[in-house]
Amino acid sequence: MSRVQEEAKPEVLWSLGPAGTQHPPPDSPSSTCTGQEGHKVSPLAQSLANTPPLLLRRNVMPKTLDGQITMEKTPSYFVTNEAPRRIHSMAKDTKLIVVVRNPVTRAISDYTQTLSKKPEIPTFEVLAFKNRTLGLIDASWSAIRIGIYALHLENWLQYFPLSQILFVSGERLITDPAGEMAKVQDFLGLKRIVTEKHFYFNKTKGFPCLKKPEDSSAPRCLGKSKGRTHPKIDPDVIHRLRKFYKPFNVMFYQMTGQDFQWEQEESDK
């Protein structure tokens, strides 16, 4: 976390990773966006970087001047137990943006990413169960545990009111990026600069790319590490995971007042 000029307005801290160990001074960022690894967060960050009042963190947090908002994103604040307390002690008015997606898909995506780096790891089916015969899901495996969103949100709500948290649908960020970006810009008090004309859907990747309407340069798309083909998973394992997550999803919907319709999405497949 970097110092902000004393005369500057509060920053927006876009955070998805472990908080620092020291408490920043009072003039630190006053909003935080948090989510989990395995989410398609990059398009959101790229999109907001196109919004004039925003400066996206590069190597260090830049100084924020009047009329500007600074963002920072990191992969795991949402699931880091100490993060809410530390961020609250730093700036209690911080705004949080949480990108969530179907936890079953998220777990498989998480595994796919790990598999690309460590091809020798056991299969998803082996890692997902404590005892497959009894159908006991291993909730201690990070790929599974991260998707228990209600558990993590409970920790954040001890420090931040729901009004300071925006939940972005990872699915809609792909199918309707402009719609999700409109919500984000409204939440941050920004003009709706990023609209439909800023997106181009890449059929090869399966994700939207960002473009500047006034610019003829190539759209900015996700890197090679995104959009990998998922390994084929035993349908019975998928079914058991859906049953495992369902009560947690329902709890999450109730806590947020937002129905992400992950069960409906699965029944349509």
Average pLDDT, the chain: 79
The confidence band for 172, taking pLDDT boundaries of 50, 70 and 90, is: very high
Q: Is the pLDDT of residue 221 over 50?
A: yes
Q: For the residues 139-150, what does the mean pLDDT come to?
A: 96
Give the CA angle between residues 37, 142, 256 to the nearest 5°. 60
3-state secondary structure the chain: CCCCCCCCCCCCEECCCCCCCCCCCCCCCCCEECCCCCCCCHHHHHHHHCCCCEEECCCCCCCCCCCCEEECCCCCHHHCCCHHHHHHHHCCCCCEEEEECCHHHHHHHHHHHHHHHCCCCCCHHHHHEEECCCCEECCCCHHHHCCCHHHHHHHHCCCCCHHHEEEEEHHHHHHCHHHHHHHHHHHCCCCCCCCHHHEEEECCCCEEEECCCCCCCCCECCCCCCCCCCCCCCHHHHHHHHHHHHHHHHHHHHHHCCCCCHHHHHHCC
* pLDDT value at residue 204: 72
Q: For the residues 214-242, what does the mean pLDDT come to?
A: 81
59 versus 57: the higher-pLDDT residue is 59
226 versus 56: the higher-pLDDT residue is 226
* pLDDT value at residue 30: 45
Q: For the residues 6-18, what does the mean pLDDT come to?
A: 33
* pLDDT value at residue 49: 57
* pLDDT value at residue 32: 57
What share of the chain has pLDDT > 70, as a percent? 70
The confidence band for 6, taking pLDDT boundaries of 50, 70 and 90, is: very low
Is pTM beyond 0.85? Reply is: no
183 versus 2: the higher-pLDDT residue is 183
Q: Which tens digits make up the pLDDT trace of 22-48?
A: 333 334 444 556 555 554 455 566 666
Among the listed ranges 6-15, 47-56, 206-215, which one has the minimum average pLDDT value? 6-15
Q: Which tens digits make up the pLDDT trace of 58-116?
A: 445 667 777 777 677 776 889 999 999 988 888 788 889 999 999 999 999 999 999 99
Q: For the residues 166-171, what does the mean pLDDT come to?
A: 94
Find, among 105, 134, 123, the residue nearest to 245 by Cα: 105
Q: For the residues 127-137, what does the mean pLDDT come to?
A: 94
* pLDDT value at residue 17: 29
* pLDDT value at residue 85: 92
* pLDDT value at residue 268: 62
Give me the phi and psi of 105, to 5 degrees please: -60, -40
Q: Is the pLDDT of residue 250 over 70?
A: yes
